[in-house]
Amino acid sequence: MCRHHTVNFTATPVNGGTPTYQWYNGAVPVGTNSATFSSNTLSNGDVISVVMTSSLTCVSGSPATSNLVTMTVNPVLPVSVSITADATTICAGTTVNFTATPVNGGTPTYQWYNGAVPVGTNSATFSSNTLSNGDVISVVMTSSLTCVSGSPATSNLVTMTVNPVLPVSVSITADATTICAGTTVNFTATPVNGGTPTYQWYNGAVPVGTNSATFSSNTLSNGDVISVVMTSSLTCVSGSPATSNLVTMTVNPVLPVSVSITADATTICAGTTVNFTATPVNGGTPTYQWYNGAVPVGTNSATFSSNTLSNGDVISVVMTSSPTCVSGSPATSNLVTMTVNPVLPVSVSITADATTICAGTTVNFTATPVNGGTPTYQWYNGAVPVGTNSATFSSNTLSNGDVISVVMTSSLTCVSGSPATSNLVTMTVNPVLPVSVSITADATTICAGTTVNFTATPVNGGTPTYQWYNGAVPVGTNSATFSSNTLSNGDVISVIMTSSLTCVSGSPATSNLVTMTVNPVLPVSVSITADATTICAGTTVNFTATPVNGGTPTYQWYNGAVPVGTNSATFSSNTLSNGDVISVVMTSSLTCVSGSPATSNLVTMTVNPVLPVSVSITADATTICAGTTVNFTATLQLTEVHRHISGIMEQFLLETNSATFSSNTLSNGDVISVVMTLSRRAYRAVLQQVILSP
Angle of helix 646-656 relative to helix 680-692, nearest 10 degrees, comes to 170
CA distance 623 to 619: 10
Q: b vs e for 498-509, b when ≥16 Cβ sit within 10 Å of the residue's Cβ?
A: bbeeebbebbeb
Residue 615: CB atoms within 10 Å: 17
Residue 626: CB atoms within 10 Å: 9
Enclosing H/E stretch for 651: helix 646-656
Ordered DSSP codes for 474-516: EES-SSSEEEES---TT-EEEEEEE---SSEES-SEE---EE-
Q: Mind listing the pLDDT tens digit for each residue in 242-297?
A: 999 999 999 888 889 999 999 999 999 888 899 999 999 999 999 999 999 999 99
CA distance 656 to 678: 10
pLDDT (0 to 100) of residue 678 = 55
Backbone angles phi, psi at 528, to 5 degrees: -125, 150
Beta strand pairing status for 117-119 and 89-91? unpaired
Measured CA to CA in angstroms, residue 683 lies from 271, 423, 635, 689 at distances of: 141, 122, 17, 10
pLDDT (0 to 100) of residue 167 = 95
Contact of 387 with 393, CB cutoff 8 Å? yes
CA distance 447 to 279: 101
pLDDT (0 to 100) of residue 643 = 41
Contact of 295 with 310, CB cutoff 8 Å? no
Which residue type does 607 have? V
Low-confidence stretches of the chain (pLDDT beneath 50)? 638-656, 680-681, 683-694
* Peptide linkage before 63 cis (omega within 30 of 0): yes
Contacts of residue 131, defined as CB under 8 A and 6 or more positions apart, other chains included, come to 90, 94, 96, 114, 137, 160, 162
CA 196 distance to own-chain centroid = 62
- CA distance from start to end of the chain: 93
pTM for the full predicted model: 0.31
Q: Report the percent of the chain where pLDDT is more than 90.
A: 80
pLDDT (0 to 100) of residue 569 = 97
CA distance 574 to 536: 10
Contact of 646 with 678, CB cutoff 8 Å? no
CA distance 654 to 651: 5
Q: Mind listing the pLDDT tens digit for each residue in 136-185?
A: 999 999 999 988 889 999 999 999 999 999 999 999 999 999 988 888 99
Query: What value, to the nearest 5°, has the Cα angle with vertex 70 and ends 66 and 74?
Result: 155
Which residue type does 77 have? L
CA distance 111 to 113: 7
Return the closest-CA partner of residue 523 out of 588, 601, 570, 449: 588
Coil, strand or helix at 580: coil
Return the closest-CA partner of residue 212 out of 196, 226, 225: 196
Write the secondary structure of 279-338 as one string of H (helix), E (strand) and C (coil).
EEECCCCCEEEEEECCEEECCCCCEEEECCCCCCCEEEEEEECCCCCEECCCEECCCEEC
Give burial (CB, 10 Å; 0-12/13-18/19+) of 90: buried
pLDDT (0 to 100) of residue 613 = 67
Give burial (CB, 10 Å; 0-12/13-18/19+) of 60: exposed
CA distance 78 to 95: 33
Give burial (CB, 10 Å; 0-12/13-18/19+) of 99: middle
Return the closest-CA partner of residue 340 out of 266, 415, 417, 262: 266
Contact of 1 with 71, CB cutoff 8 Å? yes
**Residue 192: beta bridge partners?**
169
Contacts of residue 390, defined as CB under 8 A and 6 or more positions apart, other chains included, come to 377
* Gyration radius of the chain's alpha carbons: 64
pLDDT (0 to 100) of residue 675 = 82
Residue 52: CB atoms within 10 Å: 20
